[in-house]
Amino acid sequence: MTGPLPGDPAATVGGAATERAFCVLAPNPSPMTLDGTNTWLLAEPDSELAVVVDPGPLDEGHLRAVIAEAERRGKRIALTLLTHGHHDHAEGAARFAELTGTPVRALDPALRLGEEGLHGGQVVEVGGLELRVIPTPGHTADSLTFHLPADGAILTGDTVLGRGTTMVAHPDGLLGDYLDSLRRLRSLAAEHGVRTVLPGHGPVLADALGTVEYYLAHRAARLAQVETAVEAGCRTAEQVVARVYADVDRALWPAAELSVLAQLRYLEDHGLI
């Protein structure tokens, strides 16, 4: 690959990202999780209270490392938030709540610990820190993005990654919803001073608008390829993957088939195939 990578990614993953955001990297690297899950520790510089977004997998060492980092920075964790319910982001939430005594807030009621949930348009405030809740379904039905206006940043979970592009997989992933979510983030970046992407996996991105525009262009190109494959006679997701994803590691083809099913559903729903 030549030229700069989209989004202007940071050289490393983990550590201080903005004035209010610090990443503790979970030890769960894989082709799907990249370097591992980014657990975000957020706090106003002069506050004793902190918020954790996505405690990550059920890994006792990682959960305790997040708590230790907060203590090292003179913070007490007061709240846990989830971007969505996939295990690599949320599996450790119940144990983390035990360790910290914090409620867990999420869009999906099944993931909550405590009386309060989350919904689009909500503003969460802890120790002067302000997070605005943005619904961004598509990767999953319960996906949320958190806007941190003081840092001009968004915490995107798996909706936008620090490297590569996001899987939108059948049946939970809905491509139409996902494209609408990307357009919502594009407007946020263009109109409200959002510069930085704090993703659920991979490095921090310094060009939020450029990243989202790249994602939208990538999705349009993939849809065109799938449409062409169908017109050429491909009748199953497996056949489409063999044609469109021929350059992808074959070990990832089963996941690619789920992505193709979501794309085929989108094309069918819009009368394009």
Measured torsion, CA atoms of residues 219, 225, 229, 230, in degrees rounded to the nearest 10: 50
Residue 203, both tokens = 């490095």
Task: Look at residues 258, 79, 242 and name the one whose alpha carbon lies nearest to residue 171.
Answer: 258
Collect all residues with Cβ–Cβ distance below 8 Å to 196 and sequence separation of at least 6.
17, 18, 151, 152, 153, 154, 204, 205, 206, 208
88 given a catalytic annotation: yes
Measured torsion, CA atoms of residues 107, 90, 129, 26, in degrees rounded to the nearest 10: -160
- In this structure, the strands spanning 129-135 and 196-199 are unpaired
- In this structure, the strands spanning 123-126 and 153-157 are unpaired
Question: Rounded CA gap, 150 and 199, in Å?
Answer: 17
Question: Rounded CA gap, 104 and 78, in Å?
Answer: 10
Question: Rounded CA gap, 242 and 21, in Å?
Answer: 41
Active-site pick, 35, 54, 59, 88: 88
> Which residues belong to the active site?
88
